[in-house]
Amino acid sequence: MRLNPIAEKISDNDDVIRASMSEAMPPPLLAAVAQLTGDLSVLRSDLVFDQTKLLEPNAGYTDEQLAHARALAADALIRFRDSGATAAPAPDHATLVQLIEFATGGPVPEGFLPLLEEELALDGQDLRAPKWNRAALAPDRRFVVGIIGAGMSGLIMAHRLRQAGVEFVIFDKNADVGGTWFENVYPGCRVDIPNHFYSYACAQTADWPQFYSTQPVLHEYFASFADQFGLRPNIRCDTEVMDCVWSDDDQTWSVRTRACGQDSAGQDSPGQESTITVHALVSAVGQLNRPKMPDIVGIDTFVGPAFHSAYWDHSIDFAGQRVAVVGTGASAAQFIPIVAEQAESLTVFQRTPPWLLPVPNYQDDVPHGNRWLLRHLPAYMRWDRMWIMSRTNTGLLPLATVDPDWVPNDRSVSAANDFLREMLTMYYQVMFPDPELFVKVLPTYPPIAKRVVLDGGTLPLALNRSDVHLTIESITSIDATGINTADGVHHDADIIIYGTGFEATNFLTPMNIVGAQGTDLHERWGGDARAYLGITVPEFPNLFMMYGPNTNIVINGSIIYFSECEAHYIAESVHMLLANNHAAMNCRDDVHDQYNEYIDAGNSSMAWGVSDVNSWYKNEFGRVAQNWPYSLHEYWQQTRSPNPNDYELT
Ligand code: NAP
């Protein structure tokens, strides 16, 4: 996959150009055309994106508006081709604001422009690259950063450190990079944030085959990133981090690793342990990397094949088999339709039905015309990303915000949330015509109180099949031949698949992390993980987390955006240490505690904070330890640079 490709010259005939506009949406199309050609007249006021029509078909554009916008774009591109195809100079400030306001459908909020410029990365400019270099800053000081995990967080961290000239090493327990996109290879696995936005701003590609690409494509993207940014030599695959211990004397972290396969460097044999000393440690292991098996009586007595979705057994042929699936979360929703097509019969055990959010293009290929635009208009991929981002920044957040004047109930948390419930219920009525099934699948809690599952129509189709049975009775036990439920029924099964999620609450497990004065991280947390900005924890100097506590987003944005913010903050923290000749930074308790109050207050006004429905967003104490409740912009603002006053500096 080519990252940041050079655009191809426009030399096609008029018909090809006009045909290539046929599926494009006006905001990114006209912004990209205006920027390329310098013809700002295409930014017609009647074609500005209207954010209030976000959820309407075609984002509220009428057929006439779409046709008009596409004709304007084609005419401008034909004139551009005929006049020599010389790109207009880079937009000045006023033009940039005009373009952004057109594409995002409103005035740029105060302080928002620098973020949007970073996200746009026009002309491939990486505005998030550190503006300092270790060689100039601290030429005589050796400073090594250890990164745990080569998934999407660890890779961008490594890239930022590389840009700043800081030495680093990445450990990953897997045989290759990609993290969750390496591990989850179950059939149907795909991203559910549009991949043109679920990607690094500094590494865009025209090669996404679909709007929501499948796991192999996502893995290829991250592997390409590691290759094209030269990160591979610093990555030690098949290397699991066991313990990390801080030395108060040396002000360093000692990292003990164990080879769990053939090390990529070819040096370690399985089981071999090594210890390395680093000056700062970044945990980039994420929240969803340790599969969770359910605690069900007799689970080990089942005689047939049984596996978790993250450990998919591809050797199994489902033909002629009675398959049982436990769980109906985002993973199960993706593999159930595929297993249903192959198995003799399928029984799905549902504990809590998810809210399905219809996404008509969820499984669609990027149309030919859009691919042409991505290849020929240098900025189309960037404006497309901008448009997606503007729709998701606050996007659906208001729909999940609790209205304090709304009478609390199980249906909804506000009038807007109730409206969403009604819209989604209409979808359920269409997709589940059988009244018995409809009652089983319709959630009885407010939308967005737990993870919403994107649906291109395949899950309802599967659940409607006559050879698929949905059971809502609770599971009481598992025996050699199947699953028993509370109604006394034994469900015979040849194969059991667990789509039962991950140990999201148990951040950084099973690693043993010991900080200043021998403090154990897991003992400090006691099952209630907290951090400042999701990144630093008092008593753990120079330990930084990515996708740590309260950095998950529910309905707005992309988690990659958060990783980018975290990588920036951590790189700037290294800068603070080097520039001031500090050995270590330790988050102050009062700063940490005050921040967590602010986070808890935010989450307590969101649907997922007030509802008591089961969800992995809450820990055993019922506290939302996973989610960030505010806007994307706010997290960006808070992670611009470390405030020295927030830390004890050694
Ligand atoms: P999940 O959302 O935690 O779902 C686990 C499912 O298993 C739930 O239906 C849960 O029921 C059920 N379950 C757990 N223990 C059970 C038990 N003892 N008995 C019966 N049912 C049980 O896990 P996931 O589907 O793997 O998804 C985890 C997260 O990964 C997602 O929320 C998402 O953030 C991410 N993900 C993303 C994508 C994507 O981008 N497309 C795909 C997959 C996953 P309850 O609901 O009652 O707890």
Calculate what percentage of the chain has a pLDDT beyond 90: 89
- Return the DSSP state at 445: S
- Choice from 189, 474, 500 to test ligand 1 binding pocket (greatest atom count within 8 A of CB): 500
CA of 503 to the centre of ligand 1 (A): 10
What is the CB < 6 Å shell around ligand 1?
A: 190-192, 288, 294, 296, 326-332, 334, 349, 351-352, 451, 475, 499-502, 614, 616
Residue 259 domain-assigned (yes or no): yes
pLDDT at position 638 is 97
Q: What is the mean pLDDT of residues 27-45?
A: 96
Of ligand 1's atoms, which has the minimum distance to the CA of residue 190?
41
Q: What is the mean pLDDT of residues 484-500?
A: 98
The answer, yes or no, to whether residue 357 has pLDDT greater than 90, is: yes
Residue 568 domain-assigned (yes or no): yes
- Choice from 331, 554, 618 to test ligand 1 binding pocket (greatest atom count within 8 A of CB): 331
Query: What is 545-578 written as a DSSP string?
Result: ESS-TT-B-SSSS-HHHHHHHHHHHHHHHHHHHH
Residue 598 domain-assigned (yes or no): no
Q: In this predicted structure, which of 326-340, 346-360, 390-404, 538-552 has the lowest mean pLDDT?
A: 390-404
CATH number of the domain bearing residue 579:
3.50.50.60
Q: Which phi and psi (to 5°) does residue 284 adopt? A: -120, 40
Region for residue 585 given its phi and psi (left: phi exceeds 0; alpha: psi -120 to 50; beta: otherwise):
beta
CA of 442 to the centre of ligand 1 (A): 17
In which band, very low, low, confident or very high, does the pLDDT at 459 lie, cut at 50, 70 and 90?
Answer: very high
H/E segment holding residue 81: helix 63-82
CA of 462 to the centre of ligand 1 (A): 18
Q: Look at strands 239-247 and 252-259 and give their pairing.
A: antiparallel
Region for residue 622 given its phi and psi (left: phi exceeds 0; alpha: psi -120 to 50; beta: otherwise):
left
The answer, yes or no, to whether residue 391 has pLDDT greater than 80, is: no
Q: In this predicted structure, which of 111-115, 155-159, 311-315, 360-364 has the lowest mean pLDDT?
A: 111-115
pLDDT at position 396 is 78
Alpha-carbon distances, residue 282 vs 150, 470, 493 (angstroms):
11, 43, 44
Looking up tokens 């164990």 gives 258
Rg (CA), the chain: 25
284 vs 545: CA distance, rounded Å: 6
- Which amino acid makes up residue 292? K
Q: In this predicted structure, which of 82-86, 223-227, 261-265, 601-605 has the lowest mean pLDDT?
A: 261-265
Sheet of strand 512-514, all strands in order from the earlier edge strand to the far edge: 273-278, 252-259, 239-247, 512-514
Alpha-carbon distances, residue 275 vs 144, 240, 259, 313, 315 (angstroms):
14, 11, 11, 34, 37
Looking up tokens 């989610």 gives 627
Q: What's the structural domain count of the chain?
A: 1
CA of 498 to the centre of ligand 1 (A): 9
- Atom 48 of ligand 1, nearest CA residue: 614
pLDDT one-digit tens code per residue, 98-140: 999 999 888 887 788 899 999 999 888 899 999 999 999 999 9
Find out whether 150 and 179 touch, Cβ atoms under 8 Å. yes
pLDDT at position 266 is 56
pLDDT at position 392 is 74
pLDDT one-digit tens code per residue, 236-295: 999 999 999 999 999 999 999 999 876 555 566 788 999 999 999 999 998 998 999 999
Q: What is the mean pLDDT of residues 463-484?
A: 98
pLDDT at position 267 is 61
Residue 2 domain-assigned (yes or no): no
Of ligand 1's atoms, which has the minimum distance to the CA of residue 294?
18
- Atom 24 of ligand 1, nearest CA residue: 501
203 vs 143: CA distance, rounded Å: 27
CA of 628 to the centre of ligand 1 (A): 19
Q: In this predicted structure, which of 117-126, 162-171, 567-576 has the lowest mean pLDDT?
A: 117-126
Q: Which phi and psi (to 5°) does residue 571 adopt? A: -60, -40
Looking up tokens 């189309």 gives 380
Residue 470 domain-assigned (yes or no): no
Selected residue with higher pLDDT from 104 and 146:
146
Find out whether 625 and 567 touch, Cβ atoms under 8 Å. no
CA of 326 to the centre of ligand 1 (A): 10
pLDDT at position 54 is 77
pTM: 0.96
The answer, yes or no, to whether residue 174 has pLDDT greater than 60, is: yes
Contacts of residue 567, Cβ cutoff 8 Å, sequence gap at least 6: 153, 156, 157, 159, 160, 546
Residue 273 domain-assigned (yes or no): yes
The answer, yes or no, to whether residue 440 has pLDDT greater than 80, is: yes
Q: What is the mean pLDDT of residues 435-448?
A: 97
CA of 554 to the centre of ligand 1 (A): 14
Residue 203 domain-assigned (yes or no): yes
434 vs 465: CA distance, rounded Å: 11
Q: What is the mean pLDDT of residues 560-569?
A: 97
For residue 563, what are the domain limits?
151-288+504-589+633-649
Q: Which of 628, 608, 640, 645 is nearest to 557 (CA)?
A: 628
Q: In this predicted structure, which of 204-208, 395-399, 431-435, 543-547 has the lowest mean pLDDT?
A: 395-399
pLDDT one-digit tens code per residue, 294-305: 999 999 999 999
CA of 453 to the centre of ligand 1 (A): 10
Residue 576 domain-assigned (yes or no): yes
The answer, yes or no, to whether residue 431 has pLDDT greater than 60, is: yes
Helices 93-104 and 380-392 pack at an angle, to 10 degrees, of: 60
